[in-house]
Amino acid sequence: MLKLHFAPNSRAGRIVWLLEELELPYDLNRMDFHPRDLKSDEHRARHPLGRVPVLDDGDVSIYESGAIVEYILERHKKGGLKPAVDSPQFPDYLQWFHYCEGMVMPPMNTIVVHTILLPPERRDETVLGQAQRLLTRALAPVDETLADKDYLIGDFSAADIMLGHACFMSNRLGCVSDEMTHVKDYVRRIEARPAFQKAMAS
Show the CA angle centred on residue 95, arms to residues 93 and 97, nearest 5°. Answer: 65
**What is the dihedral angle through the alpha carbons of 142, 99, 90, 75, rounded to the nearest 10 degrees?**
-130
Q: Nearest 5°: phi and psi at 149? A: -150, 155
pLDDT at residue number 26: 97
pLDDT at residue number 159: 98
DSSP string across the chain: -EEEEE-SSSTHHHHHHHHHHHT--EEEEE--SSHHHHTSHHHHTT-TT--S-EEEETTEEEESHHHHHHHHHHHHSTTTTS--TTSTTHHHHHHHHHHIIIIIHHHHHHHHIIIIIS-GGG--HHHHHHHHHHHHHHHHHHHHHGGG-SBTBBB--HHIIIIIHHHHHHHHTT-S-TT-HHHHHHHHHHHT-HHHHHHHT-
pLDDT at residue number 202: 86
pLDDT at residue number 35: 86
Report the alpha-carbon distance of residue 142 to residue 31 in Å, rounded: 32
pLDDT at residue number 9: 86
**pLDDT under 50: residue ranges of the chain:** none
Question: In order of start, what are the domains of the chain with their CATH numbers?
Answer: 2-81 (3.40.30.10), 90-199 (1.20.1050.10)
